[in-house]
Amino acid sequence: MPIFDPVDDPGSNFPELLRRVGLGTSAVAAGGDLSVPHGTTCVALRFADGVVLAGDRRATSGNLISHRSMEKVVQADQFSGVAIAGAAGPAMEMIRLFQLQLEHYEKVEGSALSLEGKANQLSMMVRGNLPAAMQGMVVVPLFAGFDTRRVVGRLFAYDVTGGRYEERDYVATGSGSLHAGTVIKVGYRTDMTRDDAVTLVCRALWEAADADSATGGPDALRGIYPIVATVTAAGWERVGDDELASRYEAIANEVRAR
């Protein structure tokens, strides 16, 4: 059981604790072109009650589809979620560590981090991944959550160096972000309802999948749909596959009728 001197205590910092006990992750030092699975399009936008996050399910290695049901949009804690585009391995590890850090802080301190605190924490983790990013293992997350102190949904985008940018309305990342972002840009209205917001992100991912080979569309054959989740004052809530199935059915019909 790890016990430290008061002057030498890692506090509520879980990554620092990992380093102290010798479990810290060292930066990847690989030369040459690594072919690792990559995840692709993720979007997030603000609506009247909070934020909605969405991401497709495809992971690719070069021309191959390496995974069809990857979860790139995950819950970080009760009031926030992360969507990650980039090298799948480091991305998943970063999410796992981020989730644990939020929970660890909450348990050690007895209260949860503020939303801005969580966003800064993630910023430091992305920055820590910079050496690996230089080798091509780029990880670029989106962070979205409900700020319980300000009673408002907030969005944060990141760059490879850990730069953190708060977005006012919406944000898209990954290889299909140009198409998804444009759909949202055209359809976005302030204070949208949950229904409109979910429809818009579904539509954005549809168009991204239509134009970007690395983004997966809805797979009715296998019953795999993008992950869409909302974060409001009531907390994180994932949109069910049944609801997504009917929404995509509606979009498909609309496109067919053109």
Partner 1 sequence: MSMPFYVAPEQVMKDRADYARKGIARGRALVALRYTDGIAIVAENPSETLRKISEIYDRIAFAGVGKYNEFDQLRVAGVRAADLKGFQYSRDDVDARSLANQYAQILGQIFTHEMKPMEVEILVAEVGQVPAGDQMFQILYDGTVMDERDHSALGGDSEAINTRLAESYADGLDLAAVVRLGISALSGPDRTIPTRELEVAKLSRGDGRRCFRRLDDDEVDALVGS
Q: Catalogue the active-site residues.
A: 40
3-class secondary-structure state, position 220: coil
List the one residue from 104, 127, 194, 238 that touches partner 1 (CB under 8 A).
104
Task: List the structure tokens of 242.
Answer: 């049944």
Across the strands, what pairs with 77? 80
Question: Is 1 a residue that touches partner 1 (CB under 8 A)?
Answer: yes
49-88 footprint of partner 1 as x/- string (CB under 8 A): ----------------------------------------
| Residue with Cβ nearer partner 1 (106 or 167) | 106
Instruction: Read off φ and ψ for residue 183, nearest 5 degrees.
Output: -60, -45
The least CB distance from residue 86 to partner 1, in Å, is 22
Question: Is 108 a residue that touches partner 1 (CB under 8 A)?
Answer: yes
Across the strands, what pairs with 19? none
Alpha helices per DSSP H over the chain: 14-20, 88-109, 115-128, 130-134, 177-187, 194-211, 241-256
d(CA 46, CA 146): 10
Element at 46 (helix H, strand E): strand 42-47
Element at 143 (helix H, strand E): strand 139-147
Question: Is 234 a residue that touches partner 1 (CB under 8 A)?
Answer: no
List the one residue from 30, 65, 107, 191 that touches partner 1 (CB under 8 A).
107
The least CB distance from residue 128 to partner 1, in Å, is 16
Question: Is 7 a residue that touches partner 1 (CB under 8 A)?
Answer: no
Question: Interacting stretch for partner 1, rule CB under 8 A, among 16-24, 28-36, 45-53, 249-257?
Answer: 16-24
The least CB distance from residue 175 to partner 1, in Å, is 31
d(CA 79, CA 144): 9
Binding residues for partner 1, per CB under 8 A? 1-3, 14, 17-18, 21, 23, 96-97, 100, 103-104, 107-108, 110
